[in-house]
Structure 1
Amino acid sequence: MYDSLKKVNRNSIKQEIYDQVKRSLFNNELPLDQFITEVELSNLLEVSRTPVREAINELVLEQLMIFKPRKGYKVNTFTNHEIDQIFLLRESLEIACVPFIVKVINAEHLKDLKIIIENQTKAAQSDDYYTFMLLDKNFHTYLMKIIQFELFLKSYNVQHDLSILIGTQGLKSQGRMMEVIAEHNVIIEALEHKDEAKIVNAMKAHLEKSMTAFKVK
């Protein structure tokens, strides 16, 4: 449990705790039905309880963890109805960006996106699902960054992190990683032609397939 946790550097303690626990959540290291307390986390990280509480409460606010009095903290889980909402929010934000993206997308941007896909392919080939999911987030957020939609990014990052958490909770459809890569390539092809309708359709199809793959059967 939480095998990747290690002693925290005294500088930026809260942020280090936050980063380490978040990575552990995304690596699916804590059983979904198991609680962990502040004391246990403090002992694992060799820090006081105050920064632990501050960091974990931030994860609770982001809906990555839940808190139960007298029990502690637990990985959040989601119903299919909640998964629908997460992906609806993602779709709303991504599709709204398309008209702005087609105005600025250039060869250098497309090259960067293709590099992300190359790295995703390597992660898929080595069954590194965690790295693959982070690269997936990089792919989608990159499009918002090139149009400088910083306010959108704040909301989008939360929704995509929930997608990563759901995806690492054992909902890995066989062959899904390679399907994602193929879907990303379709999006890039549409971006190359600056075809707004095709970009929208490719994004919607991609998110619909991901949502279906992540749902509890």
Structure 2
Amino acid sequence: MENEKEVKTDRVFQYIYESIKSGEYESGQTLTESEIVNKLQVSRTPVREALRRLEKYGLVESKPHRGVKVISMTKQRIEDLYQVREVLEGLGARLIAQKRDESAVKKLNGILTEAEKAVEKNDIHSLSTINSSFHMEIAQASENLYLINILNTLQSHISLVMVTSLSNKDRPPENLKEHRMIVDAMESWDPELAEAVIKSHVRKSYHLALKKMDITK
């Protein structure tokens, strides 16, 4: 019986987590227990357990008499997030270049082909998902377990910001161009260059996110 409860909680957790990551649940949005119960056909208990787990991950926040909401991405949270992201993704790109990992470069180019199609269709939702895959592939290819786990945890937080920043009509093609520059830098097998290019990309994404959310310095 206990195992069945855990399975249901895991299922609810994964559903909400992926919904936040994909942008279906937006920053600041209230999560209603009854809606999730009806959608997933489960009782309130696994929903509450899943929400408590998500709160520990920092993805939702619960306030008395105000319910549970997806976290609002404040200026300070975005700054903290992108500081960590810049260091971690810089390390990932460096490690790929050091290893001269041709298979990683091939996979990344394949992801960029999908991104190009999404840009042509102006499909921001799909592009956000593809972009997450691009950055997670860099983490996976680093083969650094701690880097992979930390970035995987951060990915849903990053997605909350990414959907907003990509909604600027000029950003998707610019973002695609920057991603191609990152892959080219890694394929040059120059670790310093690869790290510098991806860090520049993350910093630019950070400033654009602040500007789009109207919380610039």
TM-score (norm 1): 0.83
* 1:2-151 matches, cutoff 5 A: 12-29=7-24, 35-151=30-146
Query: 166, 179, 196: which is aligned to 2:191?
Result: 196
Cα deviations by residue, 1:2-42 (Å, 9 ceiling, x for unpaired): xxxxxxxx994223322322343345445755533433422
| Distance in 2, Cα, partners of 1:181 & 1:171 | 11
Coordinate RMSD, CA, aligned: 2.4
Residues 1:90 and 1:107: Cα distance change in structure 2 (over 3 Å): same
* Residue number in structure 1 paired with 2:160: 165
Percent identity over paired residues: 26
Where does structure 2 lack aligned partners over 5 or more consecutive residues?
none
SS in 2 for 1:146: helix
CA contact (8 A) 2:79 2:206 kept: yes
CA contact (8 A) 2:55 2:62 kept: yes
| Distance in 1, Cα, partners of 2:26 & 2:188 | 45
* Residue number in structure 1 paired with 2:206: 211
* Residue number in structure 2 paired with 1:4: none
Residues 1:124 and 1:12: Cα distance change in structure 2 (over 3 Å): farther
Letter of the structure 2 residue corresponding to residue 214 of structure 1: A
CA contact (8 A) 1:90 1:160 kept: no
SS in 1 for 2:69: strand
Residues 1:30 and 1:110: Cα distance change in structure 2 (over 3 Å): closer
| Distance in 2, Cα, partners of 1:21 & 1:189 | 36
TM-score (norm 2): 0.83
Structure with the largest fraction of helix: 2
With CA pairs under 8 Å and 6+ residues apart, which has the higher RCO, 1 or 2?
2
CA contact (8 A) 2:89 2:199 kept: no
Residues 1:191 and 1:167: Cα distance change in structure 2 (over 3 Å): closer
CA contact (8 A) 2:19 2:25 kept: yes
Residues 1:138 and 1:26: Cα distance change in structure 2 (over 3 Å): closer
Letter of the structure 1 residue corresponding to residue 174 of structure 2: E
Which stretch shows the higher mean deviation, 69-78 or 113-122? 69-78
The answer to whether 1:156 aligns with 2:154 is no
Residues 1:48 and 1:35: Cα distance change in structure 2 (over 3 Å): same
Query: 179, 186, 190: which is aligned to 2:181?
Result: 186
Where does structure 1 lack aligned partners over 5 or more consecutive residues?
1-9
Cα deviations by residue, 1:175-196 (Å, 9 ceiling, x for unpaired): 2111111001101111111122
CA contact (8 A) 2:61 2:68 kept: yes
Residues 1:110 and 1:98: Cα distance change in structure 2 (over 3 Å): closer
CA contact (8 A) 2:12 2:50 kept: yes
SS in 1 for 2:68: strand
How many residues are matched?
208
Letter of the structure 2 residue corresponding to residue 77 of structure 1: S
